[in-house]
Structure formats: structure tokens, C-alpha cells
Amino acid sequence: MEIHRLKPMKEGYSVQLFNDLYKQTSKLRKKLASQIDYRRYGVTPDIIESWFDDKFIYVFNKHFDNKDTDVLKGFIINSLQVFKYRVLRGAYSKEAEYHSNLITLDGEQDLINIIPDNSQISNGDLFLDLVTEFMKDRLSADAYLVFQIELNPPPFILSKLPKSNSRIPNDLLSKFLDLPICNKNKKYLSSLRKEIAIQTEIAKEYFSNTTLAIK
């Protein structure tokens, strides 16, 4: 855990309360961390877990003196879940692939990890990067996240598919994204996939008529 990225604990906090809430949210933090492909950040799984530890400390320190215990616990749980989406959006982006990446604990620019620049990019990788950027510019944020998950399924999803190239069921996608499995969410995911399909056809036409000067 990188304590230097966190503010000093405020005076008057209950060590017992901190330990209790830390223990009660331990399984959740591990679960959320396991749903992130650590390889995309070039780190080990324990580093990903430490980010969620940091998030827990940050939220506890900020709100232990202005929220009741039950409310504080719920707020921490919600913050950890939202933080996972923030990390995912960073992981499934060009910056996470090739450039330094910043992830904030609570809207502040706290350096989590620096990804080395990859200067050895093959022509195929470069073309894929161009296509990915094309889609990123045209898809909504949620559709782009689904697009990247389908393009490079994380281990959690791959372990539950019969083949690595099998279509990801909406139920599995919902589980990975911590969304309740219901008709409303199934319809929403289907609409995102329809959005992706439309933009994929546009991308095919665009790149079939575009000459790429790749040396």
C-alpha cells in the first residue's frame, strides 16, 4: 500500500471502527480487484488490490466524522464499486495500453501507476490502435467499455466461456460489471451492442476507403 499518496488520518477517528469496516469490506475489495485485468497495467494482482485499499482509506478518512456508521459503510461500498469502473475505463483505453496513466482516488490527480511507453508497436497493433481510437470517438462511454471488453475479454470472463472467441452472454457481462441481472439491464446491454455493431460497419467502410501510410 502506497501511504505517501494518501492524506494523514484526521484526528479523532475510531481505530476499532476502521478495523471493523476494513474487515467487513475485505471480500468486496478482493472481488472488485479480481475483475480487473492487472496485465493491462503491467502490475501484479496485489497492486490492484492495494488501489482499493487506498480508496477505502481515502473515503473513510474523508467521511468518518460526518456520516453515521451504517451510512459510512454503505458510502464506502458504493465508492469502491464506482472506483472499479474508473479503473476499468482507464484499463480499456489507449493510454493504459501505451502511455502513462493516472487514476484518482476521489477526483484528485494522485499517481497510481506509470505504464512504460511501448516504442515497439507492430503495424498490426498500430492499425488496431487506429480502429480503437475511431470507435472511441464515436461510441458512448458505456458502449466503448463494452466494446473493449469484447475486444479483449478479461480473465474473469474468459474463464467462463467455452472458447476464447465465444460471444459474451449479457448475463455474464452484467455479472462482470456488477449490474443486476434483469430485463432492463439486458435491454440496455443489447442497445449498447447494437450501437457497437452500427459503428463497426461504419469503421469497416471508412478504413476500406482509407490509405494508411504505415512504414
Same domain, 129 and 203: yes
Q: Given a cut of 60, is residue 150 above it in pLDDT?
A: yes
Q: Under a CB-based contact definition with an 8 Å cutoff, are residues 124 and 212 in contact?
A: no
Q: How far apart are CA 210 and CA 204, in angstroms?
A: 10
Q: Under a CB-based contact definition with an 8 Å cutoff, are residues 127 and 214 in contact?
A: yes
The reported pLDDT for the residue numbered 132 is: 78
Same domain, 83 and 22: yes
Same domain, 128 and 200: yes
The reported pLDDT for the residue numbered 152 is: 82
Same domain, 127 and 94: no
Confidence of residue 20 (pLDDT cuts 50, 70, 90): very high
Question: 214: phi > 0 → left, psi -120 to 50 → alpha, else beta; which?
Answer: beta
Whole-model pTM: value is 0.50
Same domain, 127 and 200: yes
Range from 26-35, 68-77, 120-129, 188-197 carrying the lowest mean pLDDT = 120-129
The single-letter code of the amino acid at 192 is L
What domain count does the chain have?
2
Dump pLDDT digits (tens) for 25-58: 999 999 989 888 787 777 888 998 999 999 999 8
Domain containing 202: what range? 123-208
Residue 18 maps to a domain: yes
Range from 1-15, 88-102, 148-162 carrying the lowest mean pLDDT = 88-102
Residue 180 maps to a domain: yes
